[in-house]
Amino acid sequence: MATARISRFVVGVAVATALAVPTIVTAQNGSTFVVEFDRTGPPEFEIDPVTGQQIQVGGAFLNPCTKEFVDVLGATTITIVDTLDNKGNRKIDVKTVTKGTGAGWTAIDPITLLQMFSGKVYAFSESQSFIVKAPVGTLSQAFESDFFDKIAMKGAGKIDNWMIRARFRIKIAADGTIMVNLVRLTQGDGCKG
């Protein structure tokens, strides 16, 4: 008789515990990517087919504060976790950390054809995190989204601060494969002082 009571008690506690603790995630897919970028050397330009305007697509940036060129090297680590809760709600968590340096230069030496560096150095370290929520039942559907990362280029002085914008694209295939690529690095809006 005592054995039957203990068995019913243990089964009852197990069932009550299972009902009391909600299932938080029923499906999850995550990946971490390191996207390196190298914007060094003479600026490279193309004509934008949509606007007809000349846009910079490669090479050093022009510092709007000092009017010198800045070679930029860095990397962005992007962590993406794609989850589906027990109600079918899809949530995509994105975390980014961007680090790197820039080196200022004023001209190209006509003899060596190398940049003449000014000695100005720009270090940057940025991070952000955000969540994208998708409609119920979309975990097995393809997903694509772009996001922007602002990179603050901080010089030695208070008046030598400016921005670069990085545009990234996240693609999640219907089978759960996650891909990330850097679409473009562009000059920010003017000198931030």
**pLDDT tens per residue, range 48-102:** 888 898 888 899 999 998 889 999 999 999 999 988 777 777 888 999 999 999 9
Domains of the chain: which residue ranges? 24-191
* Number of Cβ atoms within 10 Å of the Cβ of 94: 19
Structure pTM? 0.76
Give all strands (DSSP E) within the chain, no chain letters. Answer: 27-39, 44-47, 54-58, 61-62, 69-84, 90-108, 115-134, 143-154, 161-172, 178-191
User: Which residues of the chain fall below pLDDT 70?
Assistant: 1-28, 135-140
